[in-house]
């Protein structure tokens, strides 16, 4: 690619981005024009006993799916319902306590217009998100929200680009605002995101650790026969070794046990202190699950004793406990 062509290409990208940014800023500048309807939608959603049901076709449908996911993850029950599927039986998921949200740039999507008369008989409220007033969907809806997008960033002016971006941003803004008004916190958020990196960062070690009688516990002078029994019963592949003052002194893992036997040690006359690894790595009970996993990976271990502010053992966490939610 020639340098001049490359510069033209980069300029085209900048122009598209500027068009989409202008679309979002234009919506921001026009919020006051629809303040009453925005507040109505927020109030209805805050007191919602059912769920939000988003619907749309094509790119609007994709945005609807994303918004349903975003609202749900922020504590607002939501689903996506494709209008074509709705017309063939799936409308049964819509209940009297639900709010139906139709998304269409033109407001003339025939699939939505076909099912809306039936939807109005079922749903608590019907909401439309379109580009401007006066369209068919808005005339059939209880609450109308507008993006005020006049043109697309596409060079042909055809492909949904600015319109879909602005609708997504508008929906995100509404979801975050409603979630904030509901006093939705990090503690609530991780309940809806137990898997993946979000869950690992938000979950605390205390949320997944085993505690009390589930901790495989022996003492320095516990016979190795009893150590093996404890390891077998607790099924964590290890035993934590304490002194009489309940201080953690060591750990015996399956690997420690194998190495102990390889040295031809007399298992019948030996005690826990003979086979243990001293000063085992630990994890603080308020640390994140991600921190626990990182420590396990760094030290190539699969289990960590969990301690409190006083370095006292309050639990134990195994990599299997973490992988169970990841």
Q: Are 253 and 303 spatial neighbours (Cβ–Cβ below 8 Å)?
A: yes
Averaged pLDDT, 97-107: 96
Measure the CA–CA gap between 161 and 154, rounded to whole angstroms: 6
Q: Note the pLDDT of residue 326.
A: 42
User: Taking the CB of residue 60, how many other CB atoms lie within 10 A of it?
Assistant: 24
Residue 194 predicted with pLDDT over 80: no
User: Taking the CB of residue 159, how many other CB atoms lie within 10 A of it?
Assistant: 13
Measure the CA–CA gap between 12 and 35, rounded to whole angstroms: 35
Cα 84–chain centre separation:
29
Q: Confidence class of residue 183 from pLDDT cuts 50, 70 and 90?
A: confident
Could you tell me the pTM of the whole model? 0.61
Q: Note the pLDDT of residue 189.
A: 53
CATH of span 3-184 = 3.40.50.10490
Residue 274 predicted with pLDDT over 60: yes
Residue 191 predicted with pLDDT over 60: no
Residue 35 predicted with pLDDT over 50: yes
Residue 190 predicted with pLDDT over 60: no
Q: Note the pLDDT of residue 200.
A: 58
pLDDT in tens, 153-165: 777 665 778 899 9
How buried is residue 129: exposed, middle or buried, by Cβ count under 10 Å (0-12/13-18/19+)?
buried
264 vs 70, higher pLDDT: 70
Instruction: Write the secondary structure of the chain as one string of H (helix), E (strand) and C (coil).
Output: CCHHHHHHHHHHHHHHHHHHHHHHHHHHHCHHHHHHHHHHHHHHHHCCCCCEEEECCCHHHHHHHHHHHHHHHCCCCEEECCHHHHCCCHHHHCCCCCEEEEECCCCCCHHHHHHHHHHHHHCCEEEEEECCCCCHHHHCCCEEEECCCCCCCCCCCCCCCHHHHHHHHHHHHHHHHHHHHCCCCHHHHHHHCCCHHHHHHHCEHHHHCECHHHCCEEECCCEHHHHHHHHHHHCCCEEEEECCCCCEEEEEEHHHHHHHHHCCCCCCCCEHHHHCEECCCCEECCCEHHHHHHHHHHHCCCEEEEECCCCCEEEEEEHHHHHCCC
Q: Does the fold of domain 205-323 match that of domain 3-184?
A: no
Residue 115 predicted with pLDDT over 80: yes
Q: Note the pLDDT of residue 4.
A: 60
Residue 52 predicted with pLDDT over 70: yes
pLDDT in tens, 214-250: 999 999 999 999 999 999 999 999 999 999 999 999 9
Measure the CA–CA gap between 16 and 234, rounded to whole angstroms: 60
Q: Note the pLDDT of residue 3.
A: 57
Tell me the fold of 205-323. CBS-domain (3.10.580)
Averaged pLDDT, 198-221: 85
The least confident of 27-41, 82-96, 111-125 is: 82-96
Q: Are 325 and 227 spatial neighbours (Cβ–Cβ below 8 Å)?
A: no
Domain ranges, ordered by start, for the chain: 3-184, 205-323
Q: Look at residues 299, 297, 278 and name the one whose alpha carbon lies nearest to residue 289.
A: 297
Q: For 198, how many CA atoms within 13 A lie in the half-sphere containing its CB?
A: 11
Q: Are 120 and 140 spatial neighbours (Cβ–Cβ below 8 Å)?
A: yes
């Amino acid at each position: 690619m020639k340098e001049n062509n490359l510069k033209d290409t980069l300029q085209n990208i900048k122009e598209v981005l500027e068009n989409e940014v202008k679309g979002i800023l234009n919506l921001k500048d026009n919020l006051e024009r629809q303040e009453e309807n925005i507040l109505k939608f927020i109030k209805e959603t805050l007191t919602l006993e059912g769920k939000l049901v988003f619907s749309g076709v094509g790119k609007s449908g994709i945005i609807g799916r994303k918004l349903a996911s975003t609202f749900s993850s922020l504590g607002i029950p939501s689903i996506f319902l494709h209008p074509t599927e709705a017309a063939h039986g799936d409308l049964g998921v819509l209940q009297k306590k639900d709010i139906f949200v139709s998304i269409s740039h033109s407001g003339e999507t025939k699939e939505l217009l076909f099912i809306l008369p039936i939807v109005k008989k079922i749903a608590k409220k019907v909401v439309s998100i379109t580009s401007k007033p006066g369209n068919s969907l808005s005339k059939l809806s209880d609450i109308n929200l507008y993006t005020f997008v006049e043109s697309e960033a596409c060079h042909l002016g055809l492909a949904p680009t600015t319109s879909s971006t602005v609708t997504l941003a508008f929906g995100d803004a509404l979801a975050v605002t409603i979630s904030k008004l509901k006093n939705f916190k990090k503690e609530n958020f991780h309940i809806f995101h137990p898997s993946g990196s979000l869950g690992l960062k938000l979950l605390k070690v205390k949320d997944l650790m085993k505690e009390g009688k589930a901790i495989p516990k022996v003492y320095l002078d516990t016979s190795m026969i009893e150590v093996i029994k404890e390891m077998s019963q607790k099924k964590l592949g290890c035993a934590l070794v304490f002194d009489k003052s309940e201080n953690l002194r060591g750990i015996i893992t399956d690997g420690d046990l194998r190495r102990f036997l390889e040295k031809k040690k007399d298992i019948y006359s030996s005690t826990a202190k003979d086979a243990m690894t001293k000063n085992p790595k630990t994890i603080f009970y308020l640390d994140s699950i991600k921190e626990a996993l990182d420590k396990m990976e760094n030290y190539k271990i699969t289990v960590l004793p969990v301690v409190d502010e006083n370095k006292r053992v309050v639990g134990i966490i195994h990599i299997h406990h973490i992988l169970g939610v990841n």
